[in-house]
Amino acid sequence: MPKDFLKKGLSLLLKRQSNILSAAFVIMATIIFSQVLGLIRQRLLVAIFGASNTLGVYLASTRLPDFLFQLLIAGALSSAFIPVFSDYLVKGKENEGHKVASTLLIFSLVVFAIFGLILFIFAKQFSTLMAPGFSPSEQNLMANLTRIVIFGEILFIVGSFLSAILQSYNHFFIPGFASALYNLGIILGIVFLAPFVGIYSAAYGIVFGALIFVLAQVPLVRKMGFSFVPSLSFEWIKTSGVIDIFKLIWPRTISIAIFQIGTIITVTLVSFLQDPGRNYVIFDYAQTLAFAPVALFGQAIAQAAFPVLAKEKERLEDFKTTFITSFDQLL
């Protein structure tokens, strides 16, 4: 009996979510799970390293790789890829959609790799520029941690693309659950590696967590029939789908850039305070707590509504109804 109940529960979660409210509840559940794991991760870091300059340097070291990811990838996925890919699905052109998705993934990895390589080579100089108030030894540590985090971001790009594909197919549980497992990977890295490599354990945890994030989604992506077609030919880059994505990307990319530049300036300003690392830990933790309800309600309903809105963009009345309903639910 318990086995049947578990089977039914799992099959229910793995089903496509047919309406926004059910999708939002699934996303909320995974976000709560992720936030609990995130709280454990943050608590572990403070328990082991304290609200110290060392922990502050680690938190600051994630800023530049995250800036690159947000600027080059997140804008494309959050505002451009899902509407275009969903349009292919609605029109029954799945194979073409898969080619566009594959092209965009390869293109994103190549572009990120180029900028990531520059950041990897000049990590020390960027760290000095970003946090001039840190001591030379802290800037060296920040540079080394940044180099490790870059590899985690490369894996995270792949995982984020898989999430966007699954969300376009109205699957929300696995992407959300996989995102929560990313935190679990960091926790495992801290628990098992901290006695041997200290604060580097958190950076290695990011790489391990990103790998879990990817692997947890692969079976369902394959079940959906997605076929990765590695191609970076100029012919595919010129296709209407890829061009449409580039056209839609800019407004969101600009808004992300402004926000991310703000986070970098914050690190720079905090670095001039006494005990800069410790102060940045406190600020970062406060910001994480403040953002929790935004992620739980705003992010959950927005993620659930977005693929539906993307498919209704040519049916204006349906689009308006979905938008107003989602907005009311959010409030």
Q: What is the pLDDT of residues 248-297, one digit of tens each?
A: 788 878 888 898 899 999 999 999 998 998 999 999 999 988 988 888 88
The answer to whether 69 and 117 are in contact (CB under 8 A) is no
Straight-line distance from the first to the last Cα atom of the chain, in angstroms, rounded to the nearest whole number: 39
Least confident residue range of 1-10, 120-129, 144-153: 1-10
Q: How confident is the model at residue 203 (pLDDT cuts 50, 70, 90)?
A: very high
For residues 127 and 98, which has the higher predicted lDDT (pLDDT)?
127
- What is the rounded average pLDDT of the residues 292-314? 80
User: Tell me, what's the pLDDT at 1?
Assistant: 53
The answer to whether 154 and 109 are in contact (CB under 8 A) is yes
For the stretch 100-118, pLDDT in tens is 888 888 888 999 999 999 9
- What is the rounded average pLDDT of the residues 169-175? 89
User: Residue 311 above 80 pLDDT?
Assistant: no
Q: What is the CB-side half-sphere exposure of residue 239 using CA atoms within 13 A? A: 20
For the stretch 36-95, pLDDT in tens is 999 999 999 999 999 999 999 999 999 999 999 988 887 767 667 888 887 888 788 888
List alpha helices for 50-81, DSSP H. Answer: 53-61, 63-69, 75
SS3 content of the chain, % helix, strand, coil (to 5): 85, 0, 15
User: Which two three-digit tokens encode residue 33?
Assistant: 């799970």
Q: How confident is the model at residue 301 (pLDDT cuts 50, 70, 90)?
A: confident
pLDDT, averaged across the chain: 86
Look at residues 65, 167, 173, 76 and name the one whose alpha carbon lies nearest to residue 119: 65
Which one-letter DSSP state was computed for residue 54?
Answer: H
Kindly list the distances between the CA atom of residue 103 and the CA atoms of 41, 108, 156, 278, in Å, as whole numbers in the listed order. 35, 8, 17, 43
For residues 250 and 163, which has the higher predicted lDDT (pLDDT)?
163
Cβ-defined contacts of 104-110 (< 8 Å, 24+):
104/76, 104/161, 104/242, 104/245, 105/157, 105/158, 105/161, 105/228, 106/230, 106/231, 106/232, 107/232, 107/237, 107/242, 108/72, 108/73, 108/76, 108/157, 108/161, 109/154, 109/157, 109/158, 110/232
For the stretch 205-229, pLDDT in tens is 999 999 999 999 999 999 988 877 7
User: Tell me, what's the pLDDT at 314?
Assistant: 77
User: Residue 241 above 80 pLDDT?
Assistant: no
Q: What is the three-class DSSP state of 17?
A: coil
For residues 321 and 117, which has the higher predicted lDDT (pLDDT)?
117
The answer to whether 222 and 174 are in contact (CB under 8 A) is no
How many residues appear in the chain?
A: 331
User: Tell me, what's the pLDDT at 83?
Assistant: 80
Buried-exposed string 233-269: b where 16+ CB fall within 10 A, e elsewhere: eeebbeeebbebbeebbeebbeebeeebeebbebbbe
To the question of pTM greater than 0.85 for the whole model, the response is yes
Q: Roughly what angle, to the nearest 10 degrees, separates helices 136-168 and 200-215? A: 10
